[in-house]
Structure 1
Amino acid sequence: MDMPKNLFKAALRAGDTQIGIWSALSDPTVSEILAGCGYDWMMIDTEHSPIGAPEVISFLRTLAPYPVSPVVRPGWNNPVEIKKLLDAGAQTLLIPYVQNADEARAAVAAVTYPSSGIRGVSGITRASRYGAVSGYPLKARDEICLLVQVETREALDNLDEIAQVPGVDGVFFGPADLAASFGYLGQPSHPEVKAAILDGIAKLKSLGVPAGILSLDQAFLRETKQAGAQFIAVDVDSGLLRRAALARRADWS
Structure 2
Amino acid sequence: MNPNTPHTSLKARMARGTTFGMNIYSTACMAIEVAGNWGLDFVFIDAEHTALGVDSQMEKLLLAANSAAIPGLVRVRGTLEWDIRKALEMGAAGVIVPQVHTAAQMREIIRYSKFPPLGRRGGDSSVRSAGYAGPGFDWATYTQAENTRSVIVPMAESYEFFDNIDEILDVEGIDAVHFGPADYSLSRQLPVDYRLGNPEVLQRLQLLIEKCHARSIQVMVPCFPADQATAQRLIEMGSDMLLMGSDLSWLNQAGQQIAALKHALA
TM value normalised by structure 2: 0.86
Per the alignment, residue 32 of structure 2 pairs with 31
| Residue 245 (structure 1) aligned with residue 255 (structure 2) | yes
Q: May I ask how many residue pairs the two structures share in their alignment?
A: 249
Equivalent position amino acid for 2:162 in 1:
L
1:167 to partner: Cα distance: 0.9
What does 1:57-96 correspond to in 2, within 5 Å? 57-96=59-98
Which ranges of structure 1 fall in alignment gaps of 5 or more residues?
Answer: none
Q: Note if contact 1:6-1:144 (Cα within 8 Å) is conserved in structure 2.
A: no
> Residue 153 of structure 2: which of 134, 141, 147 is its match?
147
Task: Give CA-to-partner distance per residue, 1:184-233, whole Å, 9 cap, x none.
Answer: 14334342212221232123223321111124234554332111111110
Asked which structure has the greater RCO (Cα within 8 Å, sep 6+), the reply is: 1
Q: Note if contact 2:13-2:41 (Cα within 8 Å) is conserved in structure 1.
A: no
Task: Give CA-to-partner distance per residue, 1:34-73, whole Å, 9 cap, x none.
Answer: 3322211100110111111121110111111223221111
Q: CA RMSD in A?
A: 2.0
Per the alignment, residue 49 of structure 2 pairs with 48
In 2, the alpha carbon distance for the partners of 1:51 and 1:35 equals 20
Over 3 Å counting, the alpha-carbon distance change for 1:8 and 1:119 in structure 2 is: same
1:115 to partner: Cα distance: 5.3
2:95 is paired with a residue whose SS is: strand
In 2, the alpha carbon distance for the partners of 1:21 and 1:40 equals 9
In 1, the alpha carbon distance for the partners of 2:116 and 2:173 equals 14
1:50 is paired with a residue whose SS is: coil
Which ranges of structure 2 fall in alignment gaps of 5 or more residues?
Answer: 1-5
In 1, the alpha carbon distance for the partners of 2:100 and 2:8 equals 23
In 2, the alpha carbon distance for the partners of 1:28 and 1:105 equals 33
Q: Percent identity?
A: 24
1:181 to partner: Cα distance: 1.4
| Residue 217 (structure 1) aligned with residue 219 (structure 2) | no
Equivalent position amino acid for 1:21 in 2:
M
| Residue 177 (structure 1) aligned with residue 178 (structure 2) | no
1:15 to partner: Cα distance: 5.2
Per the alignment, residue 205 of structure 1 pairs with 213
TM value normalised by structure 1: 0.90
Task: Give CA-to-partner distance per residue, 1:168-190, whole Å, 9 cap, x none.
Answer: 11111011101111211433434
1:160 to partner: Cα distance: 2.2
1:5 to partner: Cα distance: 5.6
Equivalent position amino acid for 1:67 in 2:
A
1:171 is paired with a residue whose SS is: strand
Equivalent position amino acid for 1:8 in 2:
L
Equivalent position amino acid for 1:205 in 2:
H
> Residue 166 of structure 1: which of 166, 172, 185 is its match?
172
